[in-house]
A and B are shown apart, each in its own frame.
Chain A
Amino acid sequence: GQQLNQSPQSMFIQEGEDVSMNCTSSSIFNTWLWYKQDPGEGPVLLIALYKAGELTSNGRLTAQFGITRKDSFLNISASIPSDVGIYFCAGQYNTDKLIFGTGTRLQVFP
């Protein structure tokens, strides 16, 4: 089935560093969302984006809806150990089902 491509697949960073990850699609979306999943848990919604070009923040997290509507970016500033987990982007076109990306695995070292 259709999936979104996320990069990088995994990241190993030092506590305090900033993190950037992105998500691309061959087709356009009307909505982009970013989720975080901890081991053994369900995904938790971080940020929802509804307009092309939109830039939205949630604490140390900032996400942008790409102008082409085919990509989105998530930045995490000043990472801390509890940022460890898997970050998924998800996109929706019109009222279609939500499609999830392949995930970016983040590891933060103290």
Chain B
Amino acid sequence: NAGVMQNPRHLVRRRGQEARLRCSPMKGHSHVYWYRQLPEEGLKFMVYLQKENIIDESGMPKERFSAEFPKEGPSILRIQQVVRGDSAAYFCASSPPGYRAVELFFGEGSRLTVL
């Protein structure tokens, strides 16, 4: 049973370019979350999605960041016109439906470096 799959594992972008990070949840999981982690810090919530729905995007920056979880295919976190401050590890997590929906299973992360 494959875990949460994220790609790419590492991404280098120049300032002003776009970054797209992909996440495929675990089989049977219907909830997807994105968290950001700066070096030596904890995980900061960004957005919570279900298929074709954004449930909570209170942690997303108001500009340049967007997320989607289409009916088919992986969830995408998109960062437009990247700046150096966007350099971080971005983790996707998924959870099962029901009372255990709080038990998040994380992918290995996508590490974005902005030059």
Contacts and interface: CB of A to CB of B under 8 A. Distances in A.
Contacts of B100: 48
Interface residues of A, number: 24
A102 B41 contact: yes
Interface residues of B, number: 24
A64 interface: no
A102 B108 CA distance: 19
Residue from A31, A41, A97 with most neighbouring chain B CB atoms (10 Å):
A97
A63 B103 CA distance: 15
B44 interface: yes
A35 B93 CA distance: 13
Given A1-B59, A97-B33, A102 B105 contact: no
A61 to B, nearest CB: 16
Interface string B1-30: 000100000000000000000000000000
Given A33-B102, A45-B103, A99 B108 contact: no
Nearest to B48: A97
A89 to B, nearest CB: 9
Residue from A31, A96, A100, A103 with most neighbouring chain B CB atoms (10 Å):
A100
The 4 closest A-B pairs by CB, nearest first: A42-B106, A100-B43, A100-B42, A97-B45
